[in-house]
Amino acid sequence: MSYKNKTILVTASAKRLGKYIVTDLVKAGWDIAIHYKESKLLAEETAHDLIKIGGRVSLYQADLSNQSEIEKLINSVKKLNSKWTGLINNAGFFNYDNGTSFNFNNLNNHMAVNFTAPALLTQALAKFILECQKEDKSLQGVVINILDAKIFGLNPDYYSYTLSKQAMYGLTKMSALSYASAIRVNGIAPGITLPAPGQDQKSFEISHKQNLLKSSSTVEEVLNAIQFLIKSKSITGHVTLLDGGAHLAPPRRDVGL
């Protein structure tokens, strides 16, 4: 499968899992649109690393809780010489609350980044592909939403975050149904994959084993799942769960607490 002159936009791809994703996609032949919010220096370093291995890269700053900045991002990516055909909604807002402590602002902040922005970006890609199909009926876009295995094995922690990721799960299904002639929409729900900011290696290794298989998802497994979903043209509306079976016996509290 050739991705020559086709761009995939990956939100929050300057660092952590996003950087691994764009690096793997460059190796597969995609042109990359790197999105970042505040990590300009890291985004530039990531772009430099990708260019060194032959990648074609563009950089975009946007606050995904701001409608006008989302629209600016969409318009910029649509104007690329390389055709926009892919989207990975990797950006996430993650802040602790529970059913007692959550408030209007915290809930809105989670929903804006984890649900509303992916919904708008998905809609924009679908509309763009439909327009392009007037000249190339074979063209099809692909969207992958990065979810969280937590929504399949619930506990009461991270209340607003969990609600927003459940909404993103619904978006995966609804957008796959709504835009079927233009794009395929799937999701990946990883378990504990990388150390959380500030988490030491020992506590990460302990939490990574708190599941039935004693091993949660790895970066390599997430990348393999992305490639599988991109290449499998018969799959849409599907969510791949990578959590070592934790959803079958979820902890009463979040493993990070």
Q: Quick one: how many helices (H) and strands (E) in the chain?
A: 8, 7
| Residue 38 CB contacts under 8 Å (≥ 6 apart), including other chains | none
Structural domains for the chain:
6-190+219-241 (3.40.50.720)
Please tell me the predicted confidence (pLDDT) of residue 23. Answer: 98
Please tell me the predicted confidence (pLDDT) of residue 250. Answer: 87
Q: pLDDT by residue (tens digit) across 65-82? A: 999 999 999 999 999 999
Mean pLDDT of the chain: 95
Q: What is the bridge-based pairing of β-strands 57-61 and 183-190?
A: unpaired
**Residue 155 confidence (pLDDT) above 90:** yes
Average pLDDT over residues 90-96: 96
Q: Round to whole Å and give the CA distance between 238 and 120.
A: 20
Six token digits for residue 57: 């890269």
Please tell me the predicted confidence (pLDDT) of residue 206. Answer: 84
**Residue 211 confidence (pLDDT) above 90:** no
| Contact predicate 62/113, CB 8 Å | no
- Please provide the DSSP assignment of 38-91 as one string: S-HHHHHHHHHHHHHTT--EEEEE--TT-HHHHHHHHHHHHT-SSEEEEEEE--
Average pLDDT over residues 189-199: 89
- pLDDT class of 2 with cuts at 50, 70, 90: low
Please tell me the predicted confidence (pLDDT) of residue 257. Answer: 65
